[in-house]
Amino acid sequence: LKAYTANTAGTVRLRSPNISDAPIVDFRYFDEGSPGWEADLDAVVAGVRFVRKIGDAMGDLVAEEEEPGRHRLSDAALRDYVRDNAWGHHACGTCAMLPRDREGVVDSRFRVHGVPGLRIADASVLPRIPGYFPVAAVYMIAEKAADTILEDLRLGTARPRRNTPEAVAPPG
């Protein structure tokens, strides 16, 4: 119903100082972050109404609408349903590969800014969600990160963590 959004900035916040507590994740699914912020939500509601018209035109070929259900007629009821039931599972960008002054977390070699020896190589480094199904982009990130790490080891520019076997043992 809605493929891509201008919204690229959800949040991940610590719930408490306890590392066992799950973080608070707000995907901002239905918030464009601009005037008229309900644009995403309204687009999905319009999509539901459009699909209902298609179903109605099909007559007896469609037995009944299971979800959101014909009892949800108003835009407000449909918005509530969508808000409570829509979800996604391709979170990206929480550790974007951008310069530090642009709120980036990792550099172009997957190194975490200011944390020697730590790299991130997953969908979190994508500054923008690449579309519906980011698996190809994640495979490319993994391949590039592996090549980059191996190159850094060959060149002697890798920054292993201190006091680990990797820090004192030669590569290979």
Does residue 56 sit in the same domain as residue 108?
no
Last residue of a domain, one of 59, 85, 111: 85
Does residue 18 sit in the same domain as residue 80?
yes
Does residue 105 sit in the same domain as residue 150?
yes
Does residue 79 sit in the same domain as residue 104?
no
In a domain, 105, yes or no: yes
Does residue 107 sit in the same domain as residue 62?
no
Task: Return the exposure string of 106-122: e unless at least 16 CB atoms fall within 10 Å of the residue's CB, then b.
Answer: beeebbeeeeeeebbbe
Query: What per-residue confidence (pLDDT) applies to 127?
Result: 86
The CA distance from 5 to 74, in Å, is: 24
Residue 160 has pLDDT above 70, yes or no: no
6-30 confidence digits (pLDDT tens): 555 667 888 999 989 998 877 766 7
Range of the domain at 120: 100-168
Does residue 153 sit in the same domain as residue 112?
yes
Q: What's the pTM value of the predicted model, to 2 decimals?
A: 0.56
Does residue 16 sit in the same domain as residue 77?
yes
Task: Respond yes or no: is residue 90 known to be catalytic.
Answer: yes
Does residue 105 sit in the same domain as residue 155?
yes
Does residue 126 sit in the same domain as residue 73?
no
Does residue 79 sit in the same domain as residue 23?
yes
